[in-house]
Amino acid sequence: MNVLVRLSLFSKVLGCSVGCALALAACGGGGSAPSGTVMPEPGAGSSLAVPDLGAVVAQGAASPLPGGWMRGAFMQIYVRGYKDSDGDGKGDLKGLISQLDYLQDLGVQGLWLMPVTQSEDRDHGYAVKNYRNIETDYGSLSDMAQLLTQAHQRGMGVILDYVINHSSSQHPLFLNAASARLNPQRHYFVWQDTAPAGWSVWGQNPWYSSGNGYYYAPFWSGMPDFNWKNDQVKSFHHDNLRYWLNQGVDGFRFDAVGHLVENGPTAWESQPENHTIMGQVQDLLKSYDRRYMVCESPAAPQAFAAASSCGGAFAFDLKDPILRAARGDTTAIAAVSQYFRTAPAGMATFLANHDSFAGNRVWNQLSGNVAQYKMAAATYLLLPGTPFIYYGEEIGMANGAGLTGDWALRTPMSWTAQAAGFTSGVPFRALSANIASNHVQAQRGVDGSLHSFYKTMIGLRKRLPSLAQGDYSGAWAQGQAMGFQRSLGSERTMVLYNYGLNPQPVSLSGLAASSSWTAEYPVSTDVQVGSNGTLALTLPPQSVTVYRQRP
């Protein structure tokens, strides 16, 4: 049987059509062997060229970004859904470049791009087929280079979503590995000759038959897990990371780091080896200038934020308390006030993202209550850590009209009241349900709008370095109010919240005796602390107040 026929049959066995991607989400030959091609022994199966396999030598250059850039606000961008430049109805890199001035004006200092490399699904992008090239719908490597240049000129860093746990089942490495049990690339993935018993990941059996054994794929049959107990896998990924770092990429968001190593049917998440793996990745990034990494691990976010692991991770254990606090829940308010007393400073704060398991868009979760929305935003944007805004969050985009699951969260950006703000063609997916009222054109520059509020909060963070990089102290909660202090060098700020519907008197103690504090937000009266270090205030309903201690 020739290679083309064998691979066609193999694809049917795996069920790897694009349609399967809705559950979650090539070949070549002939002539001389190109780089990455495996030359197997007889009976060892396929030897497809692997375009993203091969050594890459570090070519580090000085970062054009200022120190501490990674403590500014990030925008998480789904490129397919952000801005279309060519009328095909799909967002692309050139479209994103055209909106960099908008992002700079908002105050954003970092961009996280959801996967932009070539993938089997050609949508969410987490079923990667080639780690070293751009999805054709999004543009080219030259477009990526232009994006990096233009972002850097505006003082913004760009980090890529890197899928470190699994690939597509159509990646040439996996096609080779699955073609025969003796294939030299077999052990890049996790295999058993017979079906393992006793496994259940999220209620499903994660083992699938290829006809040549069983492979492990907990997310979906079309996304097999790499075998991180094989040093070749480490080399493969480190080379691909160096490839992008050499291009000038400013770092990475690492997907699903809790699932890198499996040690048995009940030991498949957050294994100790995962932290060693990510610590080595962090060492690689530190060999370059001013790079940043952040990891996704919903089950153990603080463990992966440790300095010995990723050094930064998304605060999945904080987002829901913030949203409950915004509704006035006193237990949640107290929990939020205490979180950063013990949590690593490298936590990445957020309210929602591209995954439905993390919740709907903020607008839907708060039922369109703008006052609560602003309180939630003010909370995570002024706390320690690095805040990540999900595209459209700054204007209150709702879930996609008539959509469910992840697709409801990954809709075209609402630039204007109609689809024409996103594309001159037909949008690839339904628009946000509230696009008629909640769009950039209606909110930008308008006093009281969500967009203006986000711009103000981000501006505070940029103007007062203690809010972006300072320590966290003096946290307290009283009923529906809470507050804390941030300090960096000689600058000390005090942030106060009242999540309630009524004014709330608060009595603060432990402040510097007779110190004076300037009102930074909103414009209001400065305050003077008593000689005994106490201060009595009445906080307006659903308000945030920021003071800076005078030298």
Give the span between the Cα atoms of 494 and 516, in whole angstroms. 12
**Residue 491 appears among annotated catalytic residues:** no
Residue keyed to tokens 């040690």: 263
Left, alpha or beta for 542 (phi > 0: left; psi -120 to 50: alpha)? left
Q: Which residues pair with 201 in a beta bridge?
A: 204
- Tell me the torsion sign for CA atoms 551, 65, 255, 462: positive
How many CB atoms neighbour CB 545 within 10 A? 20
Q: What is the DSSP string of 446-503?
A: -TTSHHHHHHHHHHHHHH-HHHHH-EEEEEEEETTEEEEEEEETTEEEEEEEE-SSS-
ω into residue 206 within 30 of 0, thus cis? no
Question: What are 335's two structure tokens?
Answer: 């929990």
Who contacts 481 (Cβ-Cβ below 8 Å, separation ≥6)?
A: 333, 496, 497, 498, 499, 500, 504, 506, 539
How many CB atoms neighbour CB 105 within 10 A? 12
Residues 123, 135, 296, 393: which is the catalytic one? Answer: 296
Residues 121, 123, 250, 255: which is the catalytic one? Answer: 255
Among the listed residues 376, 418, 416, 405, the one whose alpha carbon sits nearest the alpha carbon of residue 393: 376
Among the listed residues 521, 469, 546, the one whose alpha carbon sits nearest the alpha carbon of residue 73: 469
Question: What are 181's two structure tokens?
Answer: 């049990």
Give the span between the Cα atoms of 268 and 266, in whole angstroms. 6
Distance spanning both ends of the chain, measured CA to CA: 80
How distant, in Å, are the alpha carbons of 196, 256, 409, 444 from that of 439?
51, 32, 16, 9
Q: Which amino acid is at 439?
A: H
**Residue 296 appears among annotated catalytic residues:** yes
Q: Which residues pair with 485 in a beta bridge?
A: 473, 494
H-only helix segments in 30-171: 93-98, 100-106, 141-153
How many CB atoms neighbour CB 133 within 10 A? 15
Residue keyed to tokens 């691979």: 7
Positions annotated as catalytic residues are: 255, 296
